[in-house]
Amino acid sequence: MDEYKQTPDYIDDNIIHLEWYEHIRLRPGMYIGKLGDGTYEDDGIYVLLKEVIDNSIDEFMMGCGTKIEVNVTDLSRVSIRDYGRGIPLGKVVDVASQINTGGKYDNKAFKKSIGLNGVGIKAVNALSTSFVIESIRDGQKKRAEFSKGQVVKEYDLEPTKEKNGTRVTFEPDNTIFENYQYHDDFIVKMLKNYSYLNKGLTLYLNGEAFKSENGVVDLLSENMTEDPLYPIIHLECEDLEIAMTHCNHYGEEYYTFVNGQNTTQGGTHLIAFKEAVARTVRAFYNKDFDVSDIRSGITAVVSIKVEEPVFESQTKTKLGSKDMEPNGRSIRQFVVDFLTEQLDNYLHRNPETAQILNKKIVDAERERKAISNIQKEAREKAKKANLHNRKLRDCRYHYNDARTKDDAKNKLIEDTSIFITEGDSASGSITKARDANTQAVFSLRGKPLNSFGMKRDVVYKNDEFFLLQNALDIEDGLDNLRYNKVIIATDADVDGMHIRLLTITFFLQYFPELIKNGHLFILQTPLFRVRNKKKTIYCYSEEERDKAMKTLGQKPEVTRFKGLGEINWEEFREFINENIRLEPVHMKKDDAVKELLEFYMGKNTSSRQNFIIDNLVVEEDLVEEEAVFE
């Protein structure tokens, strides 16, 4: 036996050099996060749009240009026009195609900007089949055209009567973003946030204007799904703006921004805000309130401007900065000092608000103490029941306790998901088919309790709810959430829909922030399988089924799936890999959540009975439809 194992050759030819655009196209996730097709608001095509708009926002922040025009044509081609200073005409090509080239490295030209690394616009260029950039300055225009990062044509300077500014037009590469389509709802939300954070700026989407008069107060009002218990507290200085209130719900809700960038995972500024609120409230009332009671039901916006922010990834979702350059002030201390003084002043000047806040905290304390013994008993019971073996089939990240490692935590949060399933059959299929590294499975036993109108103690009295809460690790809020995507996977029949509604009701009642922060999804599974000897097509609707039948021709075999348990695990693998279809559960101010829950999950009423009768599907009709395909 050889002393050394034979290994593949590793020679000079194995060392490969990639051009900048080749690297971006080969590893797009490093630059824009996930890819996607536009179904979800964090899909890559929206990141491309945002990268371009960020540059225009930076112009506004420097005092140049008060409007930005965004046009989306044919659902795919995008144009962004600002009225800032315009890119220096001799550097237009370099700015779009030379890595480590840009104006953001010069603090004299750009202060407290969003785009820092000189990469964003190049990523848009590299990931687009068509990319055109135009700069207008003082009566002259420079234009350059690219495809997939490479120059197609560079135009000479030409005279123009257009106002100063920059126009970028691009079309994402459909070989990278397959079958993509922009959805107005996500773009509108993005532009609204820009308007809230940049008072005086007007943004247009295909001619529709978005402008905010009240800044982050408007942002908070837009995102609240319940009425505030007291008027929104608005505090601001040159580099920090805060809006906050409390609502009658469990949990905490935060919307945080750095230089206009939505830091969905928080970071240094949010940690400092939480610390300052707790410290100030305790000092004002001269009571050692528990932090969880102070923050129960809080909803807040924290927007900070930092000259050279350090983010924990290129997608800039979490602030990692410790200091505010160039004078080295601590961000934490800056936020704590400002909020401690200003919030204390506000409470002294507004005794009615102070009284309401005190009552909210005392009520939260009373409820917490009332269920403390129930919590203890539930934890002991869960420990004896052996949670991980009985209910939860965890993923390997958590087997290895990777979430405790700082360098693994961000990747863990982004990549992991958990399927909430009904019954052993569906649970078994998904468990066999899943990616055990990143996908966990939690199995419900029967239908969950209808928790509508019940107090928080039901979470600890009900085995299913308590074990689910433990599996997600959200008892103390979302800071310890173990999975980025919480996916309800139930049958597409009456019972499955009922379980889905009961589960969503549970989250709406006790963990609304899970939904508001975009973590809850519904798994879409195929209703039909259409196949012949050469090809199999899975269809998620009758329209897709009809199209597949025409595509395959000659009377293909059509199977209608009635439940997840009918789909064998080899097939299931096709539905929960990179082709997974997820429907996000959204929560908006206009949703009237209380009224919806009262109507659908509350006591039986004549109006609900009439609704059911009017929308009843007769079983015989379903049987006749299924018989056609058997």
Active site amino acids: 422, 491, 493, 495
Interatomic CA distance for residues 329 and 327, integer angstroms: 6
Interatomic CA distance for residues 482 and 421, integer angstroms: 17
Residue 291 token pair = 């932090």
Q: Which residues contact 316 (CB under 8 A, 6 or more apart)?
A: 114, 258, 261, 263
- Please answer whether residues 499 and 446 qualify as being in contact, where contact means their C-beta atoms are separated by less than 8 angstroms: no
Burial class (CB in 10 A: 0-12, 13-18, 19+), 385: middle
Interatomic CA distance for residues 323 and 309, integer angstroms: 8
Please give the full DSSP string across 468-513, using - where no structure is assigned.
Answer: HHHHHT-TT-GGG---SEEEEE--SSHHHHHHHHHHHHHHHHH-HH
Interatomic CA distance for residues 294 and 360, integer angstroms: 8
Q: Name the β-bridge partners of 141.
A: 136, 158
Q: Which helix (H) or strand (E) holds 443?
A: strand 439-444
Please give the full DSSP string across 122-134, using - where no structure is assigned.
Answer: HHHHHTEEEEEEE
The CA-based dihedral angle spanning residues 13, 19, 21, 25, taken in that order and rounded to the nearest 10 degrees: 10
Angle (nearest 5°) at CA 482 between 476 and 485: 115
Residue type, 24: I
Closest by CA position to 456, among listed 594, 296, 601: 296
Q: Which residues contact 217 (CB under 8 A, 6 or more apart)?
A: 232, 234, 243
Angle (nearest 5°) at CA 118 between 319 and 134: 130
- Please answer whether residues 266 and 254 qualify as being in contact, where contact means their C-beta atoms are separated by less than 8 angstroms: yes
- Please answer whether residues 177 and 35 qualify as being in contact, where contact means their C-beta atoms are separated by less than 8 angstroms: yes
**Other Cβ atoms within 10 Å of 158 Cβ, number:** 9
Closest by CA position to 422, among listed 508, 539, 517, 525: 525
Interatomic CA distance for residues 468 and 464, integer angstroms: 6
Q: Mapping DSSP to helix (H, G, I), strand (E, B) and coil, where does residue 173 land?
A: coil
Closest by CA position to 268, among listed 186, 323, 325: 323
Closest by CA position to 99, among listed 314, 324, 312: 314
